[in-house]
Structure 1
Amino acid sequence: MSVKDKNIVIGICGGIAAYKITYLVRSLVKSSAHVQVIMTPEAKAFVTPLTFATLSKNPVYADYFDPNTGVWHNHVDLGLHADLLLIAPATANTLSKMAHGGCDNLLLATYLSAKCPVMFAPAMDLDMWSHPSTQDNVSRLQGFGNILIAPTSGELASGLSGEGRLAEPEDIFEAISTFFHDALPLKGKKALVTAGPTHETIDPVRFIGNHSSGKMGFAIAEVLQQLGAEVMLVSGPTALKTPEKVQRHNVTTAQEMLTQVEQHFEDADIVVMSAAVADYTPVEVASKKIKKKDEVFTIALRKTTDILATLGAKKLAKQTLVGFALETDNELENAKGKLARKNLDYIVLNSMQDQGAGFAVDTNKVTIIGKDLHTIELPLKSKKEIAKDICDIIADHQLAKGEQS
């Protein structure tokens, strides 16, 4: 879901439709959104703060200061760290204050200081909704850039029937989900990611391989998809589950990986080569299992095609090409040399000297080096967090390319 990990502040006003927001909060939390509820003093007469606290798994804010806990609820922080502020149900009274700068409660103070996008879903009787002053306020709010989730027609609390009914929770959820999807920085972009090891066959039961688990590449594929990209993942042998909505091609050898990557390279805007591809492969593959008989056994090896250098040589102007380097000595110098030789936009340096980094673990510590040699050192984090940092840099690079074209 596109609401996953989003910080959503929901402001609830004093109207009978407040009960519908319980269903919305529950749906958002089930979809892994982080929900913070703010209630106007009047809203507490319709649904208790305890209900929303239980559903959102967060304390509910209704006043600037909580005398029981001594906690000051900072409206600036609430609006600053949110990805979206939704005001629903938005009463005629609150709409008027929003439109004209009124600020007599915590919700309105949060609205006036919010740096994030704002949605509002009105709910009121049909005559109140159709009144020219209400319609002027709605138009004024839309002129500010706020997003209207229009009320629907139906039975109203007054017993009348007409326009003014709060949009259904599932429709509000869909509006929020669509908003985040449309706002994704990599929407419309195609990404190609490689991950995992390659296995170079010696005989029917043996191979040359490495300790790569594929976790870093799979995390990058997942994050790129969450940022809106259409992702093709080419994976060597690994038992990892394919990230949601990511297309996957399984390969075994370096040659198979090269073949798959070349098929998709030209269409890709973003290429992240995180796979640990074998540098050498056996010259001959035995058709039967090689028996153990000699004290010393020698296998003739030949170089595999350097996939990253091959791609770098034909990189297109639209593309962001990212490589990985795992080093044990002269790490920074070796990574910078690889960056230049292979015509990369970025290289991600892993050091085998860092505890908790490298193969087969859930954490990593990397240094990201740009084509201009600008260096970003990231501390030890989960591979998912490292993936987010890398993908944010990729998204910024793609945005800059779009502005230049």
Structure 2
Amino acid sequence: MCAERLKVTVAVCGGIAAYKSVELVRLLQDAAFDPHVVMTRSAEEFIRPLTFSAITGHKVITSLWSEDAVIGAEDEEAASGIEHINEAQTTRALIVAPATAHVLAKFAHGLADDFLSTMYLATEAPVIVAPAMNVNMWNHPATRANIETLRARGVKIVEPGSGYLACGMVGGGRLADGATILAAVQQTLASGTDFTSETVLITAGGTREAIDPVRFIGNRSSGRMGFAIAEAAQRRGARVILICASTTIPVPAGCEVVCVSSAAEMRAAVLERLNEATIVIMAAAVSDYTVKQAATQKLKREGPRTIELEPTQDILREIAAQRNPATLVIGFAAETSDILANGRAKLERKGVDAVVVNDVSSSALGFDSSRNAGTFLTRERAVEIPAMSKSEMAGQILDEVRRLRSWALKPTAIG
């Protein structure tokens, strides 16, 4: 292997999809990576270690113990009982494909009873897991909880696809294709580098407009999408200014956080920090209307009551007009009908560089959900983002923002 190739470790677990890991190893090699392979005992029931040894030219590690720790090695270096530490410290990424429900559970709960689970605890390299299992196993609350635990720890989850499964059932749980896993590896290893020169101002959560001291007009935004973008931007090296309205989930660590409540407070905070930003992503759900005259005391129940509303100021349009010419502005559009048409209209009306438009009529996506889908709209193109976790969608949004950056200095690219 060429010295310039990045070493990555492919861990193969015991599932019928294990044979697909051969293709993944080939794709990694074609993409200038140097894959080394680790196999669990169960994986050996589906595919032999010699296959991977022949393809990679490296030992295949199957055990912690010296008598069978090395398959196809030309020396005894790997026979050491601390080989998991060496592998953990020298790899640039740990890629688990297929990842079984059992291995996900061990990772989530910190169990270390074989080479792979011990290496997982010992490595500081990024971890990418591509689950594959029966649809009922994938949907089981225990598996879902383990996935969320790993995601919260920064593990990249390459969601399985849907289709015909080896067990005869049809549904989710099918191993993602090799190209998708490769893209996740490339994106993960690019993290921390491609946004190092950017200051990203992100809004998140839902604003609240006071009716009286205890009541308000609000919306269903949880802040998850904006927070996911903030975390992803930080991982890719950006300085992040997070202007956060009301939310029920923890604020990401490491951001410069400004807490607000109303649309007016959000407008003031955004305009105050706008000159620092090179990218603005307005993911917050900002109220379109506010109470014209909020009561100073709690309103009592005294029969029908009329509350007069007035429009809030259009923050997105205002910052698009006031920004530095090199600053990118990305808006969000939550729609329930005529999704793309309304998204394009908002793109033109607001004068922004792009709009992420999504259909929030489904309870399974968008508000109050950990998953989302949408379309990244610019004047030149529409990039569909299929249903996925908000963490993964955040990465795809930033990928599209990075593509926009290459056009940002052109006069025609500024809305």
1:256 aligns with 2:317: no
1:398 aligns with 2:412: no
* One of 359, 378, 394 as aligned partner of 2:385: 378
Write the distance in 2 (CA, Å) between the matches of 1:377 and 1:82: 16
* Paired residue type of 2:405: Q
Deviations 1:73-127 (A, max 9, x none): xxxx89x94999xxxxxxxxxxxxxxxxxxxxxxxxxxxxxxx8xxxxxxxxxxx
- Go from structure 1 to structure 2 and tell me whether the alpha carbon gap of 1:259 and 1:18 turns closer, same or farther (over 3 Å shift): farther
* Paired residue type of 2:286: V
Q: Tell me, yes or no, if the aligned pair for 1:309 and 1:342 is still in contact at 8 Å.
A: yes
Match of 2:354 in 1: 346
1:198 aligns with 2:192: no
* One of 55, 61, 66 as aligned partner of 2:118: 55
- Go from structure 1 to structure 2 and tell me whether the alpha carbon gap of 1:367 and 1:35 turns closer, same or farther (over 3 Å shift): closer
1:34 aligns with 2:87: no
- Go from structure 1 to structure 2 and tell me whether the alpha carbon gap of 1:395 and 1:330 turns closer, same or farther (over 3 Å shift): same
For the residue of structure 2 that corresponds to 1:324, the secondary structure is strand
Unpaired segments of 5 or more residues in structure 1? 37-49, 58-76, 85-115, 117-176
Q: How does 1:129-148 map to 2 (within 5 A)?
A: none
Match of 1:237 in 2: 246
Matched residue count: 273
- Go from structure 1 to structure 2 and tell me whether the alpha carbon gap of 1:311 and 1:53 turns closer, same or farther (over 3 Å shift): same
Unpaired segments of 5 or more residues in structure 2? 1-5, 11-32, 37-57, 60-73, 98-112, 121-177
Write the distance in 2 (CA, Å) between the matches of 1:402 and 1:6: 39
Q: Tell me, yes or no, if the aligned pair for 2:363 and 2:369 is still in contact at 8 Å.
A: no
- Go from structure 1 to structure 2 and tell me whether the alpha carbon gap of 1:330 and 1:27 turns closer, same or farther (over 3 Å shift): same
Q: Give the TM-score, by structure 2 length.
A: 0.58
Write the distance in 2 (CA, Å) between the matches of 1:249 and 1:28: 39
- Mean Cα deviation higher: 384-393 or 352-361: 352-361
Q: Tell me, yes or no, if the aligned pair for 1:25 and 1:55 is still in contact at 8 Å.
A: no
Identity of aligned residues (%): 33
Match of 2:316 in 1: 308
Match of 2:287 in 1: 278
Deviations 1:190-246 (A, max 9, x none): 000001100111111101101111111111111111111111111111122222322
Q: Tell me, yes or no, if the aligned pair for 2:328 and 2:408 is still in contact at 8 Å.
A: no
Write the distance in 2 (CA, Å) between the matches of 1:363 and 1:371: 26
- Mean Cα deviation higher: 10-19 or 188-197: 10-19
Give how far 1:54 is off: 5.0
Q: Give the TM-score, by structure 1 length.
A: 0.59
- Go from structure 1 to structure 2 and tell me whether the alpha carbon gap of 1:355 and 1:379 turns closer, same or farther (over 3 Å shift): farther
1:317 aligns with 2:325: yes
* Paired residue type of 1:193: I
Q: How does 1:79-158 map to 2 (within 5 A)?
A: 81=182
1:22 aligns with 2:30: no
- Go from structure 1 to structure 2 and tell me whether the alpha carbon gap of 1:28 and 1:195 turns closer, same or farther (over 3 Å shift): farther
Larger Rg: 1
Q: How does 1:331-342 map to 2 (within 5 A)?
A: 331-342=339-350
Q: What RMSD over aligned residues (CA atoms) do the two structures have, in Å?
A: 3.6
For the residue of structure 1 that corresponds to 2:276, the secondary structure is coil
Give how far 1:390 is off: 0.7
Match of 1:188 in 2: 197
